[in-house]
Amino acid sequence: MELRLSAAIAALAASLAGPAHAGSISSAPVVNFYFGAGTQDACYVRNVGKRPVEVNVVITDAEGLAHTSSTDTCNGAPLAPDAACVVILEHPGGFMACTATTPGSAKSLRGTLETRLNLNIVSAQDLR
Amino acid sequence: MKALVAAAAALALLAAAHPARAGSSTIVSPAIYGGPEADLALCAVRNAGKKPAQVELRIFDEPGTALNLVDATCNGTIQGEATCLVEPGKMFTTRSFVAVGTAYACSATGKVKQLRGAFYMGCCQVGAPSQSYRSTTLR
């Protein structure tokens, strides 16, 4: 009986000590069929939790390819509570999506992806 | 026992007949009106999961009739079919021409837990594209 209890406690401890799963939130595709100057995508992510969180934010196209950003305040530094960051890229046209990934739970993250033409919003989708 | 085997066989046949619907469910948009110039409807999903997902997209008019597609783009490749095995991180998008002055909706059938979907109305079949799209989310 003692042996069984010890094994159960060990299994529980192992499960608690195991690596945390990465959490993520993703947007549906946004659309902009203008190609060229004045078109861009902006993905905003906000930490609504009480602790700083590391976030990896990436904007991808219909083929899942990540594009190089022109502005990035999200990747490389923890996001403070109540703070928001943004990744902006000059828009190559078509459908795009944004994903924010964090090492722990993504419960404290909120996000939105906007596609713009001359800073006017063409379409937008929230990350969830 | 025979009845159980027959039921299992029937289920397997049904699943084979509708691969997009085997073990799947549907996310849908509300009907939206795109404004006086909206003659184009766009439905798009992204596979946010880690496994490929078979998806069927359909765009409906107000009476509930599914529209013909102008085209569909599956994982970046243009095709004519309304179904696609969407790879992780990739998209499946469809376009239909619509009549001005009426509302439309979109549905996506597949493993919806890993899908993120949106429906757009805008212009133009001919000429410059919309400077803004009426949009809604599939859920």
Q: Does A34 touch chain B (CB under 8 A)?
A: yes
pLDDT per residue as tens digits for the range B92-114: 999 999 999 999 999 999 999 99
Cα(B139)–Cα(B134) distance, integer angstroms? 17
pLDDT interval class at B80 (50, 70, 90): confident
Q: Categorize the per-residue pLDDT at A10 as very low, low, confident or very high, splitting at 50, 70 and 90.
A: very low
Please determine, for the modelled complex, whether the ipTM score is greater than 0.90.
no
List the single residue in A33, A95, A99 with the smallest CB-CB distance to B44.
A95
Over residues B64-72, the mean pLDDT reads 96
- Residue with tokens 């219909």, as numbered in its chain: A62
Rounded Cα–Cα distance for residues B87 and B1 (Å): 39
Q: Do B91 and A26 touch (CB under 8 A)?
A: no
Res A74 pLDDT > 80: yes
Q: Does B118 contact chain A (CB < 8 Å)?
A: yes
Give the mean model confidence (pLDDT) for residues B70-96: 96
- Residue pair A48/A105 in contact (Cβ under 8 Å)? The answer is no
Nearest CA to A31 among B133, B90, B59? Answer: B133
Mutate to test the interface with A, among B27, B40, B46, B106 (most CBs of A within 10 A): B46
Q: Which of A23, A47, A33, A32 is nearest to A113 (CA)?
A: A32
Question: Are B131 and A28 an interchain contact pair (Cβ–Cβ within 8 Å)?
Answer: no
**pLDDT (tens digit, 9 = 90+) per residue, B8-50?**
444 344 444 444 555 689 999 999 999 999 999 999 999 999 9
Question: Chain A closest CA to B93's CA: distance in Å?
Answer: 8
Compare all CA atoms of chain A with the CA of B116 and give the residue at the minimum distance: A28
> How far is it, in rounded angstroms, from Cα A95 to Cα A88?
15
Least CB–CB distance from B117: residue in A28, A32, A117: A28
Burial of residue B131 (number of CB atoms within 10 Å: 0-12, 13-18, 19+): middle
Give chain B positions within 8 Å (CB) of A125. Answer: 116, 118, 135, 137
